[in-house]
Structure 1
């Protein structure tokens, strides 16, 4: 059984550096490979460190958002600052969120696991709420005892 709740969150902003996902939206293996490759690149080229340097907390966001009919994926942080290389300021609305908690050996594994549980199990189980679009994010919140932990945040509305 998935560990999930519905929580009200204040609106917040994430500054993201992203990539367009070009796999078909039903090609989960292709999408996951694109995401893993993207995260490997931003970790190796210093992009993630640049974002972390201006963050207001330790949270690292893996944001999924449809923009102009394109599937976009971003590495992001909460910040009040901007960067010339940032590709998007992502607004998350105030309201209810489906929150799925989890842990994994790596950040990549956590992103994929939380996304799979959230969209494959938890959303179907919350009968009183629906996801109607907008950005969603897997949030790496920290590490303890060699395990990465975090949450998936999906904005939902009451049916």
Structure 2
């Protein structure tokens, strides 16, 4: 099984700029294409830089959240500030989080790899905790030797 940790986290807020994903939830290629296009857009139009300007740390969040039966996806930062460009203030609960660490050649590769490990390997195999919904995120923490370093944070509850 993949290397993972359970970590206790205090509640935190991510300010996000988002989009509704239109692909079917089992269409991973379609979802990944939509996410990549979204990131390209928020980088090019300056909205990601605007978010970074109010961030309380250097972490960049890619957040998945179901809202009113829609698959929403956000670029976000940890902050208490608000911005007119922001589409959602995402509240992450205090509690246990499944954390899988890793690295990739790009933020997109990092996110796809860690999400695949967490949802495809760890969660189906564990017996003492479960993901029951709520926002989850891939967190880009930094760069090392030209590689993007990060983690996936998924809120879980004991079984």
For the superposition of Structure 1 and Structure 2, which TM-score range results when normalised by the shorter chain? over 0.9
Contact 1:3 1:102 in 2 (8 A): no
Aligned to 1:21: 21
Offset of 1:124 from its aligned partner?
1.6
Offset of 1:134 from its aligned partner?
0.1
Q: Name the CA distance, whole Å, in 2 between partners of 1:52 and 1:122.
A: 31
Offset of 1:96 from its aligned partner?
0.4
Contact 1:59 1:140 in 2 (8 A): yes
| Corresponding position: 1:115 with 2:115 | yes
| Corresponding position: 1:149 with 2:149 | yes
Aligned to 2:32: 32
Offset of 1:11 from its aligned partner?
0.5
Q: How high is the TM-score relative to the length of structure 1?
A: 0.98
Aligned to 1:56: 56
Q: Which runs of 5+ in 1 are unaligned?
A: none
Q: How high is the TM-score relative to the length of structure 2?
A: 0.98
Aligned to 1:133: 133
Measured against aligned partners, the alpha-carbon deviations of 1:51-78 in whole angstroms (never above 9, x if no partner) come to 0010000000000000000000000000
Aligned to 1:78: 78
Aligned to 1:96: 96
Alpha-carbon RMSD:
0.7
Q: Name the CA distance, whole Å, in 2 between partners of 1:57 and 1:126.
A: 32
SS in 2 for 1:31: helix
**Pairs aligned (count):** 159
Offset of 1:126 from its aligned partner?
2.1
Aligned to 1:46: 46
Q: Name the CA distance, whole Å, in 2 between partners of 1:24 and 1:43.
A: 25
Q: Name the CA distance, whole Å, in 1 between partners of 2:5 and 2:127.
A: 12
Aligned to 1:68: 68
SS in 2 for 1:103: strand
Q: Which runs of 5+ in 2 are unaligned?
A: none
Offset of 1:31 from its aligned partner?
0.6
